[in-house]
Amino acid sequence: MRAVVQRVMQASVSVGDELVSSIGRGLCVLIGVSRDDSPKDMEYIVRKILNLRVFDDDQEKRWAHSVKDKNYEILCVSQFTLYCVLKGNKPDFHQSMAAEQSQAFYEEFLQQMRKAYQPDKIKDGRFGAYMQVSIQNDGPVTVQLESPVQQQKSKPEKAKAARQQKWEKKAGAGTTEEPAGTAQEPVDASTAQEPVDAKMEQVTEQLSQTSTT
């Protein structure tokens, strides 16, 4: 998941001439959902949004309080374009989650936000609609968040799979050397010994020829 968090004096979402939601001081958060996101990614983003310290305290100490500390509102807006990949100059969105699946995921995200905070403090746009988002950014302060859970999970698995594939190719070529970081596969003792026996026979034959000359 990706979130673009903006500290605002006020923000609103409209669809056509209809005002859908509006807030006063607080956060306006644009939310992007990738095709690989899981509940762990959701949990991370919810926690970070609610605990991100972007507000001053009563003594005007900067970066001291979260939106929860200040009892402010949050306006969430779904935005699949956060997972844009450029193909030349044309944006491509294949990394974002499919619409039907992402709507369910986004709705669950809102429920988790309301459960972790105050339900009436969480406002929303209209999923899938052509929206007009108006904000008065305070500062300006804008923070980008991205859940690391999926990345941390996928990278080791891909690296392990690549090492395993490389080892299998070597094994097929007659070598039993195992790449670093993979589990040791059981090897038949007699099969593993064959290259060693062949080498010993070769050395013995060479020594025998040397001694006869």
Q: Is 80 a catalytic residue?
A: yes
Return the percent helix, strand and coil in the chain, to nearest 5: 40, 30, 30
Contacts of 84 (CB under 8 A, 6+ apart): 91, 92, 93
- Of 6, 55, 79, 105, the active-site residue reads 79
Q: Which of 81, 165, 204, 206 is catalytic?
A: 81
Catalytic residue among 10, 55, 59, 80: 80
Can you say whether residue 139 is alpha, beta or left, with left for phi > 0 and alpha for psi between -120 and 50 degrees? left
Look up 79 and say whether it is catalytic. Answer: yes
Whether residue 175 lies in the annotated active site: no
Question: Cβ–Cβ contacts within 10 Å for residue 98, how many?
Answer: 12
> Which residues are part of the catalytic machinery?
79-81
